[in-house]
Amino acid sequence: MLVQRFNPTYPLNDYIEMYWYWKGYASELAIQQQLITPDTHTNLVLNFGSEMKYYKSSDKNTTIKDAVYIGQQSKAYTGVFGEIIDVITIRFKPYGASCFMDLPVRETSEEMINPDFIFGKGMNSLRDQIYSQVLAADKIRILDKWLLSLLKTNSKNEDSFLKDIINQINENKGLKFLYKISNNSGSEYKKIQRSFNTHIGISPKMFSRMLRFDNICHQALNQKNADRFTIIATYNLSDQSHLIKEFHSFSGFSPAEFIKSIENKTISWV
């Protein structure tokens, strides 16, 4: 299985975190199902292989033949590759996708959408150009060129404001900011809320909760000796039931079920 990560060129790196390229066969994967939990990012997935499926619940799934844009998700979903894997994922920074689209980004939250409706009708031509290239680096260069043609250049002040707020949230793992916004009803908070809803598609409080949960998951999996009471204290959770509620809300599992499923390789966590 070939898995490569590419960094976008300037100025795209202000809006896009990375590109992932997967190529191979599903039979080469040790784990067939990927659990994708909310992490404040959005993704554009270009599929050149067999049909993929994303499951948001037991009775709702999205089949990906060509491409899909995945907006902000407040619940986990499961991804399953088809047998032939040939996939490029554009991973946008939290506010990044809004700088390439005309559709209000809040309308994409909780949705998995045909990217034609967001980025225009040139997706088939783009896919043909990418597919014609043999080397992954050449495929990414075509993507860079396409994205540069879509990039809006009239939002620098808003970009700077959002970057500053997001950096504050990231530095404190979603903790200090949660406390601040729960006690701030002034004009600055209203500006922050408008900016988040317009350019990220979720509230600043939900953004902070997602970021905190992502950090909790990393600590729980990377520090085997970190008990749940340490995590509760570290992340300003009120008690054990609060921790369990956050896990159920964002992953669909209890903390113990989440860790056991990953350690037993029932699912892989993304």
**106: which residues sit within 8 A by CB, 6+ positions away?**
197, 198, 201, 202
Length of the chain in residues, anyone?
270
Q: Find the radius of gyration of the CA atoms of the chain.
A: 19
Give 185's pLDDT tier (boundaries 50, 70, 90): low
Retrieve residue 72's tokens.
Answer: 């902000």
Give 13's pLDDT tier (boundaries 50, 70, 90): very high
Q: What is the DSSP string of 93-143?
A: -TTTGGGT-SS-GGGGTT-EE-THHHH-TTHHHHHHHHHT--SHHHHHHHH
Report the mean per-residue pLDDT for the chain: 90
Average pLDDT of span 230-241: 93
Q: Cα–chain-centroid distance for residue 247?
A: 17
Q: How far is residue 251's CA from residue 134's CA, in Å, rounded to a whole number?
A: 37
pLDDT at res. 41: 96
Amino acid found at 256: A
Tens-digit pLDDT profile for residues 44-78 = 999 999 999 999 876 678 888 999 999 999 999 99
Hey, which residues does 268 pair with through a beta bridge? 34
C-beta separation of 119 from 147 below 8 A:
no
pLDDT at res. 157: 52
C-beta separation of 42 from 71 below 8 A:
yes
Range in 37-46, 73-82, 104-113, 116-125 with the lowest mean pLDDT: 116-125
Tens-digit pLDDT profile for residues 128-167 = 999 999 999 999 999 999 999 999 865 555 568 888 889 8
pLDDT at res. 153: 67
Predicted TM-score (pTM) of the model is: 0.92
